[in-house]
Amino acid sequence: MIQSLLRAMELLELLKEANHKYSIAELSESTGLPPSTIHRILQTFCEKKYVIRDEHAHTYQLGPALISLGRAAADNVRIQDAALPILKNLSYCTREDSYLIIQVGDKGLVLDKTDGPNHLKVVEEFGYEMDLHCGAIRKALLAFQSDEYIRRYLDTRLNRPETFPKADPAELAEELRTIREKGIAVSHGEYVPDAVGIGAPIYGIDGRISASVGIIAPYSRIEDDTHLLHLQEQVRHSAAELSYYMGHTFKQEK
């Protein structure tokens, strides 16, 4: 690897933090690089407008040239391209079928699916649609919609005779709040009898939910609560991987 390039990339990664401008001293402390090295790298970035310098505060932040690069990268990204290896890995680690779901109106559509070693004969293939409150993977989409959208969904979607599964609006609203707090959805036998669904949201570059990922596992293969938590962490990890690929940056905990 070319060390100088790695150092430069490390600086760009640090400068991604929103609403913060870094001084050379701060960058040196964070990276362990000498201030002179950081200064030379930043000078080059500034010449190409990848970084801009605040002449009064003597601080640095990402520059406008990166916007066009980011847009070009986003145009070339298809979530399915990133999803396939991640879904395969999720199925390998959990030994269960894994799903990628996108929102289409008030429904969640299966955009991709990978069979696990212990394949379930579930009618959930490419293009299959069900209401957004049906199962954990779709609820992971519904829970992170706007308050206005959720209110409309609860007021109108649940009252239709053909709605499946039936749900109490107040109970569903509380469940969606819990999903938002925990960042993951878990359902028990809602439309696949004797099975657990686990789903987590995938964020896009703008911070909005772009899809969800998850698994369905029969009760007979859930060994105990520790195993269930392990499956949840695998789903979380896959969602975070896909979010990163789609350009989302998670805020670092201070």
For 230-241, what is each residue's pLDDT tens digit? 999 999 999 999
| Class of 77-245 in CATH | alpha beta
Task: Dump the DSSP string for 166-185.
Answer: ---HHHHHHHHHHHHHHT-E
- Whether 1 shows a pLDDT value over 70: the answer reads no
**CB neighbour burial string for 130-145, b if at least 16 within 10 angstroms, e if fewer:** bbbbbbbbbbbbbbbb
pTM: 0.70
Mean pLDDT computed over 80-104:
92
- Whether 254 shows a pLDDT value over 50: the answer reads no
Mean pLDDT computed over 59-74:
81
Which pLDDT value is given to residue 211? Answer: 93
Domain ranges within the chain, ordered by starting residue: 3-72, 77-245
pLDDT tens by residue, 161-196: 767 778 888 999 999 999 999 999 999 988 788 899
Question: Which helix (H) or strand (E) element contains residue 68?
Answer: helix 65-76
- Whether 122 shows a pLDDT value over 70: the answer reads no
| Residue with tokens 């913060």, as numbered in its chain | 20
Mean pLDDT computed over 78-93:
91
Task: Give the fold, CATH level 3, of 3-72.
Answer: Arc Repressor Mutant, subunit A (1.10.10)
Contact assessment for residue 173 and residue 139, using Cβ atoms and an 8 Å cutoff: no
Within 13 A of 4's CA, how many CA atoms are on the CB side?
Answer: 7
Q: What is the mean pLDDT of the chain?
A: 88
- Whether 23 shows a pLDDT value over 70: the answer reads yes
- Whether 72 shows a pLDDT value over 90: the answer reads no
